[in-house]
Structure 1
Amino acid sequence: MDELKVRQSHFIYWASGIVSICGIIFEVLFGALGSYILGDGVKQYTLTISLFLTGMGIGASLSEKVTKHLVLSFIYIEFLVALIGGFSSFLMFAITAFASNGTDAFFLYGVTLLVGALTGVELPILIRKANEIGVTLQKSTARVLFSDYAGGLIGGLLFVFLLRPQMGIVKSAFFVGLINASVALVVLFLFRREIKHVSIHAFIGIGISILLILGIFFGQAMALTFEQKLYKDPIIYMEESQYQKIVLTKNDDDVRLYLDGGLQLSSIDEHRYHEVLVHPAMSYTSEARKVLVLGGGDGMAVREILKYPSATDITLVDLDPAVVELANTNAHLLELNQRALMDEKVTIFHQDAFEFLERSEEWYDVIIIDLPDPNNESLNKLYTKEFYSLVRNHLQPGGAAMIQATSPVFAREVYWTISHTVASTGMHTENIHLDIPSFGNWGFVMASRDSIDVDSLDITRKTDYLKTDVLSSLTKFGKDEDSQLDGDHTEWGVNTLVDPILIQLYEKSWEYY
C-alpha cells in the first residue's frame, strides 16, 4: 500500500469518529431544541432519539444503492448534513416565531429523521471505501465501528459540558455543521486524484463553510430576534446554563423571569405568590429558626423569610448555580429580592432537592418547596410520595411545609393529585389558592405532622398583599376547581416513582393553555 493510500485509510477511521461525534451532537441537540420549544423534555428526547435511529436504519438500507463514486457520495452527504444540521436550530426559532402552531414540531421531527438518514448512509460507505483501498473487510469494519461508537460517547460529553453551556443551541448547530463540511473538504483533498472537477466540489464546500461561519457569528443575534416573538416583552438578558435557558424580559416596570420558556415570576405581582408561599408556614411555627427552601434560586422566598428575626439558619437548595448567580448580580433581581441570598444567615447548595433530602440529617422548622411544575420525569420525582415522605422526615414536630402545586383551575387534576400525594405520607394538609395576574389562579398545599387550623394563623410581618383576615378565604374553592369533579366524590391517585401518573395528567391539563 503506497503512502497516499495509507493516509487515506487512516483518515477514513478518523472521519468515521468525527462524523459520529457530529451525529450524536445533532441527535441530542434536536432533543434539547424540542424540549425547550415544544416542552416535555422526556417526550421530546424520546421522539428525537427514536426518529434519529430510525433515520439511521433507513440510511443504512439506502446505502446499498450507492455503488459508484463512494468518496464523492460521502462528500455530498457531509455537505447536506452540514447545511441541514447547521441551520436546524436557527430555522426552528424562525418557524416557531412566524409559522402556524404545529409547524415547528413537524419541522423538527422531519429534520431529525433526515439528518439521521444521512448519518446512516455515511458509515457503510466509509467501510466499503476502506475495503476498496486494500484493508481487509473484517479489519476495516471493526476499526470504523470502533471509531463510530467511541465518537458517539465523545459527542455526548462535548454537547453536555462544552457546546450547550458555552455556545448555546444555535451556535452549536452551526459549529458542528462546519465540522462536517471540513471533513468533507479534507476527504476531497486526499482523494482528489480519483475525483473529476475537484475545483467545483471544493467551491461548493467552501461556500457552505462560509455560510456556516457567518451563522456562527451572526446567527445567534438573528435567532434572538425570532425568539423575541415568543415573549410578550423585550428580552434584556438570556443565558443557556448547564440545565436550562434563562431569560429576563422588561416592559416599563414589569420584569419577568423565564426558565425554559416557562414564566417564573413577574415583578408586578410576584409578592402575591411569595407571600402566600412563605408566611402561612412561618406563622404556623412558633419562632421558626431553621428553614429549608427547595428551589427559589431567584431569592424572593428567602426575602420573605428574612422578615422573621427568629430565622437565623436558612438553607437554600437550587440545582442551577446560574439562576442564583443571576439573582445576585442582576440589578433588577437584586432590587426585587433585596440582596436576600447574600445574607449571612443563608447557606446555598447547588444540588438536586431529592438527593439533598436523602443525604441530609438535619431537621427543619419550616420547609418551603418552590420547584418548577412536574412536566417531565426529572421534575416528577419531586412531586412523588417518596419525595414528600422525605420532606415529612425532615420536618420538626410542630413545623410546617408549603408546596407550590400548580393551578387548580388550569390543571385541576394535577393540583388535587399533588395534594392527595402529600396526604398519603400521613401529613395533615390544607389547600390554598389565590389569583396572580401574571399566572392566573395558583395553588399551594400546606402540610404538617399536626393538624392545621388556618383561622388561628396571624400574619404579623409587613406584606403587600396577604393579611390575616384574607388567609382563610384562600382556602375556599369554587365548583370548577375543588376536589370533587361534577359534584361526585373523587378518589385521587398517588404519584410515585414507580407509577408517575402526574406527567400525563399535567400534559393533558395544560394542553389548551
Structure 2
Amino acid sequence: MVLLVAVFICAACGLVYELALVTLGSYLLGSSITQTSIVIAVTMFAMGIGALVAKGWLGRPLLAFLAVELGLAVVGGFSVPMLYLAFAWLEFYTPAMVLCAFAIGLLIGAEIPLLMELLQRLRAQDAARAVANINAVDYIGALVGGLAFPFLLLPLFDLLIGTLVVAAFNVAAAWLVAFALLRGRRRLGQASVVCALVLALLATMAWKASEFEATARQLLYRDPIIHAERSAYQDIVVTRGGIVGPERADVRLFLDGDLQFSSVDEYRYHEALVHPAMAGAHRRVLILGGGDGLALREVLKYDDVEEVDLVDLDPAVTDLARTFEPISSLNRHSFDDPRVRRTSADAFTWVRENTDSERFDAIIVDFPDPDSTATAKLYSQELYAMLRPMLERDGRMVVQSGSPFFAANAFWCVRRTLAATGLSTVPFHVDVPSFGDWGFVLATHGPSKLALPAERPAGLRFATPEVLRAATVFPPDRADRPGEVSTLLDPAILDYTRSGWVGY
C-alpha cells in the first residue's frame, strides 16, 4: 500500500514539474505552444532514457529509488529559481530549460521501474497485475497533479514556492518508502537524516524566495522597480527612472516583460490612438484593453462624452492604475470619473456576448501586441467581424497595430484583417521614442479620412491636423505588402509578429 501511495505522489509531482516549466516559459517568453511542445517532448524522451538507465539499478532498488526521489526533489524544486536566474542573468534560458526538462524526465522515468521492482520483492505477484495496479495509480496521481497545479498550487503559492512545496512531497515519498522497508533498521535513521537535509535545503530556498525573486527580477530592468506583482494573468512591473526633462521621472509599466508605456512620451501614442476615433460622434465610447487608464484619460477630455465602457482582462492592472499614485496621477484619476464603467473580462468573450445588444459611436482597441496565442485571437477577423455591428453607422474605430518598421507584415495584417470584414481602413503611423515607429488603423463603415475633431480639447501636445496628414504617408520600406488575413484557426499575425521582432 505504501508503495502505491509513493507511485501516486511521484506521478502528481512529475506532472506538476512539467507544468511548472511550461508556465515559466510562457511567463518569460510568451510562446506557450512552443514551450509546451519542447517541455513535453524532451521530458517524455528523457523518461524513456531514465527507464532504460534504471535497469542497471535494479540490484539495489531501494537505495536507487531514494537517490532518484531526493534528486528529483532538488532538481524539480530548484528548477524555477534556476531557470529564472538563467533568463535574467545569463540570457541562457532555452538551453537551460531543455537541460532541466531532460534531468527531470530522466529521474521521473526511473521511478516506476524501481518501484515495480520493490513491489515485486515485497509481495510476489503476477507481473501484468502489478503493472495494471501501478499504471492505474500513476494515472490517477497525474490527474490530481494536473488539477492541483492551476486550482490549488498557483492560487495559494506563486510558481517558485509552489514547486518547492511539490518537492517536499517527493521527499515525503522517499521517506515513506524508506520507513516501510527499513523500519527497525539503522539505515532508516540515515535515510531520515538525508531526507531532513533536503527538506532543510528546500525550506531555505522558500525562506529566501522573495529576496531572490526581487534580485533576479531587477536584473531584467534598467530602472529601479517600484512595484511588482504576479496577477492571475501576468507579471506586472512598474519602474521609475531618472528625471527626464523638467516634468517628471520616467515611469514605465511592463506586462510580462513587455513595455506598455513610458510616462515621458506616452501622450504621443495615446493622442494618436484616441483623438482620430473621436472625430465623429462620441456620446458612447468603448475601450478594449487600455487598463492603464491613459486612453481613457484622453477620451474623458471631451465633455460631451456621456458613457465609456472599458473592458480589460486583468483587474490587477486596472486596480493598479486607479490606486497607484505614479500611474493614477498620469491618467488623471480617470477611473474615478462617474461616466466610466469598468469591466474585467476577456475582451473576445465580452464582445461576443454583447455584439447584438451594444452600439458605440467610437471604439478604441488598445490590446497588447499579438505575440502569443492568447493575444493573437484579439487581432482575428472573427473579433473584428463582431465589432463591426457594434460600431454605429457613422462611428469610428481605431486599432493599435504595432510597428510598421519592426513588424511591418504584422502591421499590414491588421489592416488587411479589418478590411476583410467590410470596413474601410486608413493606416497611419507616428513616432513614439520609447517604442519607435508605431502604427494604428482607423476603421469606418464607409470611406473616411484621418482627422481630428473640429472641436477638440485644448492642450494636446502632439496630435495636430498637420501631424495626422503626415502620418498617413508610408515610405517604400514600410509600404503595404501582400499577405494573409488572421483568423482564429490560422493566426497569421502571430507568425508575422514573432518573425518581425526576432532580430530586435
Q: TM-score range by the shorter chain?
A: over 0.9
Answering whether residue 368 of structure 2 is matched by residue 379 of structure 1, we say no
> Which of residues 431, 435, 438 is equivalent to 1:435?
431
Name the structure 1 match of 2:464. Answer: 467
2:331 is aligned to: 337
Residue type at the aligned position of 1:478: P
Correspondence for 1:236 among 209, 215, 226: 226
Matched with 2:64 is 73
For residues 156 and 336 of structure 2, the distance between their equivalents in structure 1, rounded to whole angstroms, comes to 26
Alignment counterpart, residue 486 of structure 2, candidates 488, 492, 495: 495
Q: Which residues of 2 match residues 282-321 of structure 1 at below 5 A?
A: 282-283=278-279, 285-286=280-281, 288-321=282-315
SS, match of residue 463 in structure 2: coil
Structure 1 residue 195, shift from structure 2 partner:
7.0
Q: Deviations over 1:40-70 (max 9, x none)?
A: 2221122112222222233233333332222
Does the 8 A contact of 2:417 with 2:485 survive in 1? yes
Aligned to 1:6: none
State the match for 1:145 in structure 2.
135
Q: In the alignment, is the contact (CA less than 8 A) between 2:278 and 2:453 conserved in 1?
A: no
Shift of 1:172: 2.1
**Gap runs ≥5 in structure 2:** 243-248
Query: Where does residue 202 of structure 1 map in the other structure?
Result: 192
In 1, Cα distance between equivalents of 2:15 and 2:334:
42
Q: How does 1:355-366 map to 2 (within 5 A)?
A: 355-360=349-354, 361-366=357-362
Distance 1:195 1:305, change over 3 A: farther
Partner of 2:50: 59
Name the SS of the counterpart of 2:430 in structure 1: strand
Partner of 1:133: 122
Q: Is the 8 A contact 1:171 1:220 kept in 2?
A: no
2:339 is aligned with 1:351: no
- The aligned residue for residue 246 of structure 2 is none
> Cα distance, 1:480 vs. partner?
1.8
Which consecutive segments of 4 or more residues in structure 1 shift more than 6 A? none
Given the alignment, which residue of 413, 419, 422 partners 2:418? 422
Task: Note closer, same or farther for the CA distance 1:192–1:400 as it changes in structure 2 (3 Å cut).
Answer: same
How far off is 1:165 after superposition? 4.2
Selected match of 1:450 from 446, 457, 465: 446
Q: Secondary structure at the match of 1:405?
A: strand
What is the SS of the residue equivalent to 1:191? Answer: helix
| Contact 2:6/2:176 (<8 A) preserved | no
Separation in structure 2 between the aligned mates of residue 150 and residue 259 of structure 1, nearest angstrom = 36
CA displacement at 1:427 relative to structure 2: 0.4
- Letter of the 1:81 partner, please give it: L
Change in Cα spacing, 1:166 to 1:193, as seen in structure 2 (3 Å) is closer
Matched residues, percent identical? Answer: 35
On the 8 A contact 2:42/2:102 being kept in 1, the answer is yes
Counterpart Cα distance in 2 of 1:214 and 1:421? 52
Alignment coverage as a number of residue pairs: 494
SS at match of 2:477: coil
Higher mean alpha-carbon deviation, 422-431 vs 159-168, is at 159-168
The alpha carbon displacement at 1:306 in A equals 1.3
Q: Could you tell me whether the CA contact under 8 Å between 2:50 and 2:109 is conserved in 1? A: yes
Of residues 460-469 and 294-303 in structure 1, the stretch that sits farther from structure 2 once superposed is 460-469
1:86 — aligned with what?
A: 77
RMSD: 2.0
Contact 2:400–2:441 (CA under 8 A) maintained in structure 1 = yes
Greater shift, 59-68 or 267-276, is seen at 59-68
Code of the residue aligned with 1:461 in structure 2: it is P
Match of residue 255 from structure 1: 251
- The one-character-per-residue Cα deviations of 1:14-54 (angstroms, maximum 9, x if unpaired) are 22222222111111110121122233222112211222222
Match of 2:387 in 1: 391
For residue 89 of structure 1, report the CA deviation from its aligned partner. Answer: 1.5
Q: Secondary structure at the match of 1:197?
A: helix
Q: Which runs of 5+ in 1 are unaligned?
A: 1-8, 484-489
Once the two structures are superposed, residues 260-279 of structure 1 have per-residue CA deviations (whole angstroms, 9 ceiling, x without a partner) of 11111111111111111111
Mean CA deviation greater in 125-134 or 412-421:
125-134
Q: CA deviation at 1:301?
A: 1.3
Contact 1:38–1:105 under 8 Å retained in 2:
no
Q: What's the counterpart of residue 266 of structure 2? A: 270
Report the residue type matching 1:377 in the other structure. T
The residue aligned with 2:245 is none
1:89 to 1:134, Cα distance in 2 relative to 1, 3 A: same
Secondary structure of 1:236's match?
strand
Opposite residue 217 of structure 2, the aligned amino acid is E
Equivalent position of 1:406 in the other structure: 402
The residue aligned with 1:486 is none
Per the TM alignment, residue 498 of structure 1 is displaced from its structure 2 partner at its CA by: 2.5
Alignment match, 1:5: none
Which digits, 9 at most, give the CA deviation of each residue in 1:56-87, with x for residues without a partner? Answer: 23323333333222222221111111111111
Superposed CA offset, 1:185-209 (max 9, x none): 2322222249773333332221111
Q: Which residue of the partner structure matches residue 4 of structure 1?
A: none
Q: Deviations over 1:268-295 (max 9, x none)?
A: 1111111111111012x22x12211111
The TM-score normalised by the length of structure 1 is 0.91
For residue 459 of structure 1, report the CA deviation from its aligned partner.
Answer: 6.3
- Residues 312-344 of structure 1: CA distance to partner in whole angstroms, max 9, x if unpaired? 221121111221222222121211122222322
Cα distance, 1:457 vs structure 2: 4.7
1:79-128, CA deviations, whole angstroms, 9 ceiling, x for partnerless residues?
A: 111111111121122222332x4x22101111012102211221232233
The residue type paired with residue 317 of structure 2 is: V
Compared CA separation, residues 428 and 59, structure 1 to 2 (3 A): same
Q: Secondary structure at the match of 1:444?
A: strand
Conservation of the 8 A alpha-carbon contact between 1:296 and 1:371 = yes
Match of 1:338, SS state, is: coil
* TM-score normalized by the length of structure 2: 0.93
Of 100, 105, 111, the match for 1:116: 105
CA offsets 1:417-436 (integer angstroms, 9 cap, x no match): 11111111110111111111
- Asked whether 1:327 is paired with 2:321, we answer yes
What secondary structure, in the 3-state scheme, does the structure 1 residue paired with 2:402 have? coil
Q: Which moved further from structure 2: 62-71 or 408-417? A: 62-71
Contact 1:233 1:250 in 2 (8 A): yes
Contact 1:233 1:251 in 2 (8 A): yes
Whether 2:476 is the aligned partner of 1:482: answer: no
Which residue of structure 2 aligns with residue 213 of structure 1?
203
